[in-house]
Amino acid sequence: MVLHELLDYQTLRVIWWLLIGVLLIGFAVMDGFDLGTGMLLPFVGRNDVERRVVINTVGPVWEGNQVWLIVGGGALFAAWPPLYAVSFSGFYLAMFAILFALILRPVGFKYRSKRESAAWRSGWDWALFIGGLAPALVMGVAVGNVLQGVPFRLGSDLRIFYDGTTLFELLNPFGLLCGLLSVAMLVMHGASWLVLKTDGAVAERSRKYGASAAGATMALFALGGLWLWVGVDGYHITSAVVTDGPSNPLAKTVERAPGVWFENYGRYSWTMTAPALGFIGALANLALQKRRREIVPLLASGLSVFGIIATVGLSMFPMILPSSLDPNSSLTVWDASSSHLTLFIMLVVTLIFIPLIVAYTSWVYRVLWGKVDEKAIRDGDGHAY
């Protein structure tokens, strides 16, 4: 037997669908508190020293956390080429906005303290705020548009035609709602990180903002689910499903219908775990913040992030990118992947390197464990931001 035949094509496709989800959730959990911290910076830090404390809670780790985004993008390119092509061409301006914000963040870290000017430092503080807000908002808006369907179609030769117009068409009401949910979710997560890593006034303000963000996360998540039920059509395959054939998105028939995004919850009752975790994690975060806990609120907010993102993936399965222009061109788990051999080789590589990344990340956080306080900033040896 050829080695790659140990796992059939259908199983490999599901495994890679799960792995992409793991990488996206890994980015949201690990880099999400960085983004949330940036959004909170101008509000929880009332003077220069306090803001430096906030910056130095994420300064040593943000680069490592962003590895999850890089790995996710690379995996998407290799495992799901049509999905990568449509996403990065259709959402080009949105991706550029995210990239600009992610570039702005390290520049802000490095340049903020280069001058003593209060105006200079304040300007970079707001740049770091934008560097956190823009990715969180735009990524949420993108998810909202994916749930509604993206205006692309495939030619008979599988060439991709994207018929969208501008970035502003992505800013529709449901997309903006999803964007606000993403912002609230990551502010909750960032505030939990600051409660863990700081003390005094910064921690107290973070706790208050985090509690408010947790309440907003639950409210927006519930509103998004209701809106999805009554106002957004889903997409489902109505023809025979070939799960182990060559990737050809046009070899199926897809229809739009109300309530489709909720069918998997009736078909597989265990999937209800995901939205439940989204609510339970945020509610637990809110309660734990009020009880003035430190470590467990971060775990609870991470659980909520996991549940909310997993809810989207489980609702859409096997759809991964529906087409609002030509539903038959929609991309699914069964017809948008790389070849059987490619998926197998990538899985072997992933099983080698992901544990190494996790082990290294765990070691870094162990070394950097502890709080950042004002005394450390004032009496530092010049290595602090």
**CATH code at position 347:** 1.20.1630
- pLDDT higher for 305 or 380? 305
163 inside domain = yes
CA dihedral (63, 64, 65, 67) positive or negative? positive
pLDDT value at residue 3: 56
383 inside domain = no
Indicate the average pLDDT of the chain.
90
Report the distance separating Cα 358 and Cα 270, nearest Å.
Answer: 27
Instruction: Collapse the DSSP code of 337 into the 3-class scheme (helix H, G, I; strand E, B; otherwise coil) and give the result.
Output: coil
1: its two tokens: 């037997």
Q: Which domain holds residue 22?
A: 3-230+274-314+341-365
200 inside domain = yes
pTM recorded for the entire structure: 0.93
Percentage of the chain lying above the pLDDT 70 cut = 96
**pLDDT band at 1, cuts 50/70/90?**
very low
267 inside domain = no
pLDDT over 60 (residue 251): yes
Number of domains in the chain: 1
60-64, Cβ contacts within 8 angstroms, sequence gap of 24 or more: 60/364, 60/368, 61/34, 61/364, 61/365, 61/368, 62/31, 62/34, 62/105, 62/106, 62/109, 63/106, 64/360, 64/361, 64/364
**pLDDT band at 112, cuts 50/70/90?**
confident
pLDDT over 80 (residue 125): yes
63 inside domain = yes
347 inside domain = yes
105 inside domain = yes
Report the distance separating Cα 275 and Cα 319, nearest Å.
Answer: 18
pLDDT over 70 (residue 165): no
69 inside domain = yes
